[in-house]
């Protein structure tokens, strides 16, 4: 059994714990919270026993194999770095780090701890329907680009409108639409088409300088990819990938509920599988495979790592094109 600890006591951590247990590979042994009371309250929502509540990273990183980190984005770097230095594998929520400087520092520390594995929890690319999309891309003649969409009104936007500063909608915590929901379509674009040769981001800014929604353009040699995302409105547009006459249509690029192939005559074929109730099961299983057999799964691991690095760079390039600066960019490492 892989012994794991968690950082973050919000709903996403609960979902990951449930996914981890469904794989049958993991056992939760520690919960980190800034306060014991919140840690206890979170534990009471879970159906697990024998879990320690800890309030320091040094207590968390003793006697566990892997940590799942779901704190506000700005904390991912430091919490991951200390884990790696402690010899603990890291599953960190997207986005891994705030910028490429932090990612390079993670790479440097990983080189000193070659036994440690570092995973970005980009759940959608581990799902069977994403693999189907990758396979079906081969049937598209002369790729013409794509439109990828993930825009969902956030309950935290209500808080923002009420004058509050929710973490995810501030630059202080490396938040904003691009570094939150935008990560999913950007990940999909890079996993499917590779790193773009140039990018441009046109955001709608909040009064605090973070982006509430926006449009990103990814430029490739033979086509462009348009990406729409945001937290201040709902979109029901599907995502589409274009061949000359064929089209792949995906109901939602982060959730992947349905995947439809339209041939050159417009005949449609629903090629997607029914998705699991818990969308994190496949990533939890993939990461367990690597932890249990790092040599046998080295190629897969390296591909995910390189993808995470390219996504991190592209997010930063997009953000830079819109002059959005995070406090994390001004830190010295
Ligand atoms: N994969 C997915 O589907 C998915 C979905 C949602 C979120 N996420 C990712 O999960 C991460 C967490 O997102 P979230 O919306 O859950 O964040 P959040 O609610 O702002 O914070 C998560 C946890 O971090 C701790 N925390 C909150 N504010 C903090 C602060 N100022 N300093 C230190 N710790 C603080 C809290 O735990 P304690 O009070 O117990 O310390 C809280 O439960 C993000 O990286 C996000 O991108 C992923």
pLDDT tens digits for range 65-104: 999 999 999 999 999 999 999 999 999 999 999 999 999 9
Per-residue model confidence (pLDDT) at position 148: 98
Kindly state whether residue 137 falls inside one of the protein's structural domains: yes
The pLDDT of 299-324, averaged and rounded, is 98
Pair (40, 131) in one structural domain: no
Distance, in Å, from the CA atom of 151 to the CA atom of 66, rounded to the nearest integer, reads: 32
For residue 92, the ligand 1 atom closest to its alpha carbon is: 45
Kindly state whether residue 190 falls inside one of the protein's structural domains: yes
Number of domains present in the structure of the chain: 2
DSSP state of 125: G
The pLDDT of 152-178, averaged and rounded, is 96
CA of 96 to the centre of ligand 1 (A): 13
Ligand 1 contact via 10 beta carbon (within 6 Å): yes
Ligand 1 contact via 9 beta carbon (within 6 Å): yes
Kindly state whether residue 275 falls inside one of the protein's structural domains: no
CA–chain centroid gap for 265, Å, is 36
Domain edge (last residue) among 270, 298, 318: 270
Which is it for strands 211-219 and 224-230: parallel, antiparallel or unpaired? antiparallel
Pair (157, 186) in one structural domain: yes
Range 163-167 contact pairs with CB under 8 angstroms and sequence separation of 24 or more? 165/208, 167/72
Ligand 1 contact via 120 beta carbon (within 6 Å): no
17-48 residues labelled b (16+ CB within 10 A) or e (exposed): bbbbbbbebbbbbbbbbeeeeebeebbeebee
Distance, in Å, from the CA atom of 308 to the CA atom of 189, rounded to the nearest integer, reads: 12
CB atoms within 10 A of CB 210: 27
Per-residue model confidence (pLDDT) at position 282: 98
Pair (155, 244) in one structural domain: yes
- pLDDT, tens digit (0-9, with 9 covering 90-100), for 241-282: 999 999 999 999 999 999 999 999 999 999 999 999 999 999
The residue with tokens 């013409």 is 144
- Yes or no: say if 215 and 204 are a contact pair by the CB < 8 Å rule: no
For residue 42, the ligand 1 atom closest to its alpha carbon is: 40
**CATH code of the domain containing 200:** 3.30.360.10
What average pLDDT is seen over the chain? Answer: 97
Asked if residue 48 has pLDDT above 80, the reply is yes
Domain edge (last residue) among 248, 270, 292: 270
Per-residue model confidence (pLDDT) at position 163: 94
* Domain encompassing residue 104: 2-121+280-330
How do the residues of the chain divide into helix, strand and coil, expressed in percent and rounded to 5? Answer: 40, 25, 40
CA of 261 to the centre of ligand 1 (A): 36
Pair (161, 88) in one structural domain: no
- pLDDT, tens digit (0-9, with 9 covering 90-100), for 174-202: 999 999 999 999 999 999 999 999 999 99
Distance, in Å, from the CA atom of 173 to the CA atom of 155, rounded to the nearest integer, reads: 17
Per-residue model confidence (pLDDT) at position 58: 97
Closest C-alpha among 10, 285, 19, 23 to residue 31: 10
Asked if residue 332 has pLDDT above 90, the reply is no
Closest C-alpha among 153, 179, 182, 148 to residue 256: 148
Ligand 1 contact via 243 beta carbon (within 6 Å): no
CA–chain centroid gap for 60, Å, is 23
CA of 11 to the centre of ligand 1 (A): 9
DSSP H stretches of helix in the chain: 11-23, 36-43, 57-60, 76-85, 100-112, 128-136, 155-161, 183-193, 281-292, 298-321
Pair (187, 105) in one structural domain: no
**CATH code of the domain containing 111:** 3.40.50.720
For residue 121, the ligand 1 atom closest to its alpha carbon is: 1
Per-residue model confidence (pLDDT) at position 175: 98
Ligand 1 atom 28: residue of nearest CA:
72
Kindly state whether residue 143 falls inside one of the protein's structural domains: yes
Ligand 1 contact via 205 beta carbon (within 6 Å): no
Pair (261, 289) in one structural domain: no
For residue 9, the ligand 1 atom closest to its alpha carbon is: 43
Ligand 1 atom 30: residue of nearest CA:
72
Ligand 1 contact via 302 beta carbon (within 6 Å): no
Residue 127, classed as helix, strand or coil, is coil
Closest C-alpha among 254, 225, 243 to residue 129: 254
Residue 219, classed as helix, strand or coil, is strand
Domain edge (last residue) among 270, 288, 310: 270
Per-residue model confidence (pLDDT) at position 94: 98
Pair (154, 235) in one structural domain: yes
CA of 115 to the centre of ligand 1 (A): 27
CA of 175 to the centre of ligand 1 (A): 11
Token pair of 23 as six digits? 């794989």
**Among residues of the chain, what percentage have pLDDT more than 90?**
98
Per-residue model confidence (pLDDT) at position 312: 98
Ligand 1 atom 19: residue of nearest CA:
10
CA of 289 to the centre of ligand 1 (A): 26
- pLDDT band per the 50, 70, 90 thresholds, residue 311: very high
Pair (95, 37) in one structural domain: yes
Ligand 1 contact via 168 beta carbon (within 6 Å): yes
Pair (323, 204) in one structural domain: no
Token pair of 88 as six digits? 């603990």
Pair (82, 65) in one structural domain: yes
Kindly state whether residue 313 falls inside one of the protein's structural domains: yes
Pair (236, 294) in one structural domain: no
- pLDDT, tens digit (0-9, with 9 covering 90-100), for 100-150: 999 999 999 999 999 999 999 999 999 999 999 999 998 899 999 999 999
Per-residue model confidence (pLDDT) at position 134: 96
Asked if residue 333 has pLDDT above 90, the reply is no
CA of 326 to the centre of ligand 1 (A): 17
Distance, in Å, from the CA atom of 125 to the CA atom of 274, rounded to the nearest integer, reads: 16
Pair (245, 173) in one structural domain: yes
CA of 76 to the centre of ligand 1 (A): 10
Ligand 1 contact via 8 beta carbon (within 6 Å): yes
Kindly state whether residue 302 falls inside one of the protein's structural domains: yes
Kindly state whether residue 12 falls inside one of the protein's structural domains: yes
């Amino acid at each position: 059994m892989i012994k794991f600890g968690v950082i973050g006591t919000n709903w996403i951590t609960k979902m990951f714990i449930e996914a981890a247990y469904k794989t049958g590979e993991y056992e939760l042994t520690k919960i980190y919270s800034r306060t014991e009371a919140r840690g206890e309250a979170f534990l009471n929502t879970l159906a697990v026993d024998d879990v320690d509540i800890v309030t320091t990273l040094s207590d968390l990183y003793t006697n566990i194999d892997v940590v799942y980190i779901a704190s506000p984005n700005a904390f991912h770097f430091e919490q991951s770095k200390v884990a790696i230095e402690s010899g603990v594998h890291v599953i960190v929520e997207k986005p891994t780090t705030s910028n490429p400087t932090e990612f390079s520092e993670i790479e440097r520390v990983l080189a000193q701890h070659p036994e440690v594995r570092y995973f970005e929890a980009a759940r959608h690319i581990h799902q069977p329907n994403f693999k189907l999309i990758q396979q079906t891309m081969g049937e598209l003649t002369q790729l013409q680009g794509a439109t990828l969409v993930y825009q969902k009104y956030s309950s935290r936007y209500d808080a923002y409108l009420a004058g509050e500063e929710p973490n995810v909608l501030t630059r202080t915590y490396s938040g904003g639409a691009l570094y939150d929901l935008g990560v999913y379509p950007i990940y999909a674009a890079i996993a499917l088409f590779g790193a773009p040769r140039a990018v441009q981001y046109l955001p709608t800014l909040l009064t605090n300088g973070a982006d509430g929604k926006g449009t990103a353009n990814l430029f490739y040699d033979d086509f462009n990819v348009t990406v729409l995302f945001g937290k201040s409105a709902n979109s029901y547009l599907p995502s589409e990938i274009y061949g000359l006459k064929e089209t792949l249509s995906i109901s939602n690029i982060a959730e992947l509920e349905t995947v439809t192939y339209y041939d050159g005559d417009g005949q449609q074929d629903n090629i997607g599988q029914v998705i699991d109730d818990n969308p994190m099961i496949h990533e939890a299983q993939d990461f367990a495979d690597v932890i249990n057999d790092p040599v046998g799964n080295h190629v897969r691991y390296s591909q995910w790592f390189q993808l995470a690095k390219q996504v991190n760079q592209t997010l930063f390039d997009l953000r830079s094109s819109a002059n959005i600066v995070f406090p994390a960019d001004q830190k010295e490492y």
